[in-house]
Structure 1
Amino acid sequence: MPVEELEDKVILTNPQDSSSKVTILKYGATIISWENKAEEKLWLSKAAKLDGSKPVRGGIPLVFPIFGKQKNPEHPTSKLPQHGFARNNEWEFLGQTNESPVTVQFGLGPENLSEETRSLWPFNFTLIYTISLKEDKLTTKIEVENSGRKEFEFNWLFHTYYKIQDITDILVSNLIDQNCYDQLIGESYIEKAPAISFHEEFDRIYKNINSSKIIQIIDKGKVLYNLKRNNLPDSVVWNPWIKKSEGMNDFEPKSGYENMICVEPGHVNSMVLLPPGEKWFGEQEISIGGEIKVQSNIY
């Protein structure tokens, strides 16, 4: 069965390969597992709450309508919790929309939110989330519609946790000469590393990346993941390292930072302004393996 709906989750199975499947929790529409040929590709904390009591630590949480915490107290998103409300509300499963590749959709609107959340962000909106699975490839697409009479602003982010063997062997490529904001030191600069390596806590926002650039996650010369983006100009690269991992109650094991890297495409350097009746979309495509693609001048 390519699409199986359970009480709390939906499971997609590739009809051509039953060892490749995706599990989506209805809470937050969070993808909590992507198995490719029976091998898990996403990192999920062993202490992740999957009962709807708090956002999931790991997988692919959805960040909307604010990335982080709004610093402007006058902004409509200022009273919302960190990373907004998309990841901590129950989405509606809309069903299967395509057989090949197997594709499903989830929806979220004001009717799915608590009264408290609606009062904190009183806009009419519709989110349609499309997830598609094919051989060696996972595509996630979001469509945001302003169904009200007032314009609103928002951020979007696919907060993707990739599973890896050892963070110290990992390189993230094709971000050289990219403008970035380092959240740890609060400064902007141009990235000069031909490929990013990891030996301490890392938290940077890479801004306005050309859509033709494919971000690659490479392990000892082998390409693990290729990330293509459509209408998502920014990407967060994050690893909490030792001290921050110890401070997160839902991060287990505490050594888990060694086995994960977040590369998160989104629209977070600035906000999208959406007039009434208008729609916006963003899409990420993750593929496995292939050759190293050097899309930067490294000489």
Structure 2
Amino acid sequence: MDRSKKPSALQSLTSPSLIPQAQVSITDSQVSATLPSRESVEILLHGATVISWKDASGAEKLWLSEGAVLDGSKPVRGGIPVVFPVFGTAPDHAATAKLPQHGFARSSRWEFLGKSTSESSGTKDGGDSSVKLDFGLSPNNLSEEAKKAWPYEFGLIFSVTLGREGLTTSIVVQNVGESVWEFQTLMHTYLKVKDISSILVSGLESASYVDKLTSPISTNMSPSSGNLTITAKTDRVYTPAGGPSDPVTVSDGRKKLYTVARDNLNEVVIWNPWTDAKTMGDFKPVDGYKQMICIEPGTVRGWQKLEAGESWEGGQIITAHY
């Protein structure tokens, strides 16, 4: 017999409304996301610059200057600024000779394109195990000055993926015009450490490197064994012998802190300003160099060429060890 007031079925415990989801907050100036397991990330629309990445305990993994300017009036000192279409300056490269240091991507306002998430099937609590945030940049976002200095048709998609064990940043570069052009790109990652004097960097053994602090700039070969230590101002462009598949590891003594894996990015820049930090107006505190090291994956020795309609993609995966 059919009952008119029979009880409805209980809501399934696997209903999407009961599964812990990543929380994404969007304001006029930034996008932030927090996983159910409490890892979090913050990205400014200015430069699509990642300014914070915290683990589940709330410990910050990126170094951000106390004097960093976050209002869009200048590039951010710290976090992960995006370098495009030139690394440093290139006065001998006609197409980028008029561009400022590190190009215009870190100085332009990007558009937030949206988010996507993935659920965990192997953890006890389930829920979203990662969240991916996409940002876009095109000539429409550039200042008139930047358009004149680099008058090419392009599209950039910068993606930041927050996971439970790490952070992934990747960039897609598209030539949407009719002329051929060249570019360089890099992710200027400032990793936070407790004491630079105890930091060891491995994965650069037998790598050739360019020392930008020598005059003239010299090309050298790192030892086949041993770790890199930072004891003075350092600005080197390494090309790991094994290619992008060779990860770079940052350790504090015997304790592994970070592993940086690269995808289609052949070079790794190692940078620390040491006491020269006092000459940088936005580097605060002036002894902050003791708590940071830049491990910067990029393609910066030579140029990537894109024909009309072509695209290129590269990225980094930073794993935090506990």
Q: TM-score range by the shorter chain?
A: over 0.9
What secondary structure sits across from 1:40 in the alignment?
A: coil
Provide the rounded CA distance (Å) in 2 between the counterparts of 1:65 and 1:212.
24
- The answer to whether the Cα contact below 8 Å between 2:77 and 2:283 also exists between their aligned partners in 1 is yes
What is the match of residue 67 of structure 2?
47
Provide the rounded CA distance (Å) in 1 between the counterparts of 2:154 and 2:266.
22
Superposed counterparts of 1:55-134, under 5 Å: 55-72=75-92, 75-100=94-119, 101-134=130-163
1:87-138 Cα offsets, whole Å, 9 max, x none, are 0000000011334421110000000001111111000000001111111210
1:42-97 Cα offsets, whole Å, 9 max, x none, are 0000000000010000000000000001131x511000000000000000000113
- The answer to whether the Cα contact below 8 Å between 1:174 and 1:194 also exists between their aligned partners in 2 is no
The answer to whether 1:22 aligns with 2:36 is: no
Instruction: Kindly provide the amino acid, as one letter, of the partner of residue 211 in structure 1.
Output: P
The answer to whether 1:197 aligns with 2:229 is: yes
- The answer to whether the Cα contact below 8 Å between 2:259 and 2:320 also exists between their aligned partners in 1 is yes
- The answer to whether the Cα contact below 8 Å between 2:171 and 2:313 also exists between their aligned partners in 1 is yes
1:11-43 Cα offsets, whole Å, 9 max, x none, are 01112x12x100000000000000112000000
Instruction: Kindly provide the amino acid, as one letter, of the partner of residue 216 in structure 1.
Output: T
Instruction: Kindly provide the amino acid, as one letter, of the partner of residue 297 in structure 2.
Output: P
What is the match of residue 174 of structure 1?
203
* Cα distance, 1:270 vs structure 2: 1.1
* Cα distance, 1:223 vs structure 2: 0.5
* Cα distance, 1:7 vs structure 2: 1.4
Q: TM-score, normalised by structure 2?
A: 0.87
Superposed counterparts of 1:214-233, under 5 Å: 214-233=247-266
Q: What is the number of equivalent residue pairs in this alignment?
A: 286
* Cα distance, 1:196 vs structure 2: 0.2
Provide the rounded CA distance (Å) in 1 between the counterparts of 2:99 and 2:230.
32
What is the match of residue 3 of structure 1?
24
- The answer to whether the Cα contact below 8 Å between 2:240 and 2:246 also exists between their aligned partners in 1 is no
Provide the rounded CA distance (Å) in 1 between the counterparts of 2:298 and 2:110.
20
Provide the rounded CA distance (Å) in 2 between the counterparts of 1:198 and 1:75.
35
Superposed counterparts of 1:116-155, under 5 Å: 116-155=145-184
Question: If each structure's strand is expressed as a fraction of its own residues, which one has the higher value?
Answer: 1
Q: Where does structure 2 lack aligned partners over 5 or more consecutive residues?
A: 1-21, 120-129
Note the aligned Cα RMSD (angstroms).
1.1
What is the match of residue 244 of structure 2?
211
Instruction: Kindly provide the amino acid, as one letter, of the partner of residue 3 in structure 1.
Output: V
Whichever of the two has the greater Rg, that structure is 2
Provide the rounded CA distance (Å) in 1 between the counterparts of 2:75 and 2:240.
28
Provide the rounded CA distance (Å) in 2 between the counterparts of 1:235 and 1:214.
10
2:307 paired residue among 242, 256, 275: 275
What secondary structure sits across from 1:252 in the alignment?
A: coil
Q: Where does structure 1 lack aligned partners over 5 or more consecutive residues?
A: 291-299
What secondary structure sits across from 1:117 in the alignment?
A: helix
**Quick one: percent identity of the two aligned structures?**
44
2:218 paired residue among 155, 166, 187: 187
Provide the rounded CA distance (Å) in 2 between the counterparts of 1:70 and 1:165.
34
Provide the rounded CA distance (Å) in 1 between the counterparts of 2:106 and 2:282.
15
Provide the rounded CA distance (Å) in 1 between the counterparts of 2:49 and 2:174.
20
- The answer to whether the Cα contact below 8 Å between 2:205 and 2:240 also exists between their aligned partners in 1 is no
Using a 3 Å threshold, how does the CA distance of structure 1 residues 148 and 208 change in structure 2: closer, same or farther? farther
Mean Cα deviation higher: 206-215 or 79-88:
206-215
The answer to whether 1:288 aligns with 2:320 is: yes
- The answer to whether the Cα contact below 8 Å between 2:204 and 2:240 also exists between their aligned partners in 1 is no
Instruction: Kindly provide the amino acid, as one letter, of the partner of residue 61 in structure 1.
Output: P
Provide the rounded CA distance (Å) in 1 between the counterparts of 2:62 and 2:116.
24
Provide the rounded CA distance (Å) in 1 between the counterparts of 2:240 and 2:157.
24
Instruction: Kindly provide the amino acid, as one letter, of the partner of residue 222 in structure 2.
Output: E
What secondary structure sits across from 1:211 in the alignment?
A: helix
